[in-house]
């Protein structure tokens, strides 16, 4: 089991630690509902240093990324980030990721922790052009500082005007006494804030200064359990649940990051799928009766006929109701459609809704 550079601090803080993607990670500190509320109303800090970072450089860097990614990376300007996915050759998704354009011929790819080796092998296999690839995953830490008070709480730590960094843009600047830190206006919570990339040797100083600066703003450490409830309230996909090797980006509602203005892995058959239409769709739903939907629960129609499967579900702390995502047949995918979730062999009524569930 690997530790992040901050695992000892989480243990000192009394975090409940669990194995996740080969790392010893904090799942909760004071409890998921309290931590969730901290991020929605104030500011919370996640250690997500288990995530993977690949640096792709050289004259062939863009060619390689355009080939393996579904979105059009040529549209990025320096200091801009882009949500993306790596399609496989059989209609599914290798992983979803964020691509950062550092400058011409220099890109940072941030991938899911559980897929670091898989993604590295996949991109390497496709690197016939000969771009230079470096796996920085073991050397870099990542803190997500999230919540409506994040800008105000963190401004004293940098000379960069945080309020001027637009969503999905970033600056390389001083932060918490460290030079050349990536300050990125990205996150997985829907409550605003930043993600901070620095070296493992620097992250403890950053963590300590972040908590010092945020003291008067109600800052708290947040675990992976609340990260999941926060992202689910926004309808954000989680790899391994809502998207995987067998789900197409079009079925998953990721057509907006699937650009047929260029060729990429499996683009021809995905284009065909777009023209012919998908047979199932990833939807959001809210329970209209008491209950908590869970991953892999069956979805049925009013006659009890199977129409799909739940991919993510929880009791939403901000909404105080059961919510979830799942794949259903296209005929049952329109908003306001009544569906039923089989919870302990009992059909519990739900309604298809547009995401995000949490409107903020």
Name the β-bridge partners of 353.
284
User: Reduced to 3 states, what is the DSSP secondary structure of residue 353?
Assistant: strand
- Coil, strand or helix: which one is 195? strand
Region of residue 340 (phi > 0: left; psi between -120 and 50: alpha; otherwise: beta) = beta
Neighbouring C-alpha atoms within 13 Å toward the C-beta of 28: 11
Q: To 5 degrees, how large is the angle CA 88–CA 91–CA 94? A: 30
- The alpha carbon of residue 85 and the mean position of all alpha carbons in its chain are separated, in whole angstroms, by 11
> What element of type H or E holds 325?
strand 321-329
Which residue, 274, 234, 269, is CA-closest to 251?
Answer: 274
Beta bridge partners of 173: 181
Q: What is the C-alpha separation between 114 and 123, in angstroms, rounded?
A: 16
CA atoms of 47 and 145, how far apart (whole Å):
9
For the CA atoms of 45, 49, 51, 57, the dihedral, rounded to the nearest 10 degrees, stands at 110
Q: Closest Cα partner for 91 from 311, 246, 261?
A: 246
195 annotated to a ligand binding site: yes
Q: Which two tokens stand for residue 265?
A: 């892995």
Question: How far is the C-alpha of 286 from the C-alpha of 339, rounded, in Å?
Answer: 10
φ/ψ of 213, rounded to 5, equals -65, -30
The torsion angle over the Cα atoms of residues 79, 83, 88 and 93, rounded to 10 degrees, is 150
DSSP state of 239: B
What is the chain's alpha carbon radius of gyration, rounded to the nearest angstrom? 21
Residue positions forming the annotated binding site: 195
Q: Which residues are known binding-site members for substrate?
A: 195
């Amino acid at each position: 089991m690997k530790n992040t550079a901050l695992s000892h601090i989480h243990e000192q803080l009394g975090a409940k630690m669990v194995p996740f993607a080969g790392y010893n990670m904090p799942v909760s500190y004071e409890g998921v509902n309290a931590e969730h509320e901290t991020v929605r109303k104030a500011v919370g800090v996640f250690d997500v240093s288990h995530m993977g970072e690949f640096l792709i450089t050289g004259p062939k860097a863009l060619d390689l990324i355009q080939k393996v990614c579904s979105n059009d990376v040529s549209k990025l300007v320096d200091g801009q980030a882009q949500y993306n996915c790596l399609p496989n050759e059989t209609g599914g998704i290798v992983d979803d990721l964020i691509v950062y354009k550092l400058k011409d011929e220099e890109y940072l790819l941030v991938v899911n922790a559980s897929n670091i080796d898989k993604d590295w092998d996949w991109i390497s296999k496709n690197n016939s052009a000969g771009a230079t690839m470096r796996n920085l995953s073991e050397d870099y830490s990542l803190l997500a500082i999230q919540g409506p008070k994040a800008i105000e709480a963190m401004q004293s730590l940098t000379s960069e005007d945080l309020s001027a960094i637009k969503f999905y843009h970033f600056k390389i600047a001083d932060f918490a006494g460290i030079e050349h830190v990536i300050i990125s206006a990205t996150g997985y919570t829907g409550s605003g804030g930043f993600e901070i990339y620095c070296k493992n040797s620097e992250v403890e100083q950053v963590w300590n200064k972040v908590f010092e600066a945020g003291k008067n703003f109600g800052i708290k450490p947040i675990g992976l359990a609340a990260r999941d409830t926060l992202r689910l309230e926004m309808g954000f996909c989680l790899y391994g649940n809502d998207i995987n090797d067998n789900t197409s980006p079009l079925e998953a509602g990721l057509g907006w990051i699937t650009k047929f203005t260029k060729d990429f892995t499996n683009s021809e058959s995905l284009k065909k799928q777009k023209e012919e239409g998908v047979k199932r769709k990833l939807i959001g739903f809210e329970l209209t009766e008491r209950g908590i939907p869970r991953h892999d629960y069956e979805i049925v129609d009013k006659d009890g006929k199977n129409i799909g499967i739940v991919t993510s579900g929880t009791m939403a702390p901000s909404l105080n109701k059961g919510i979830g995502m799942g794949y259903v047949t296209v005929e049952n995918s329109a908003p306001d459609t009544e569906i039923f979730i089989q919870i302990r062999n009992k059909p519990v009524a739900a309604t298809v809704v547009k995401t995000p569930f949490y409107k903020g």
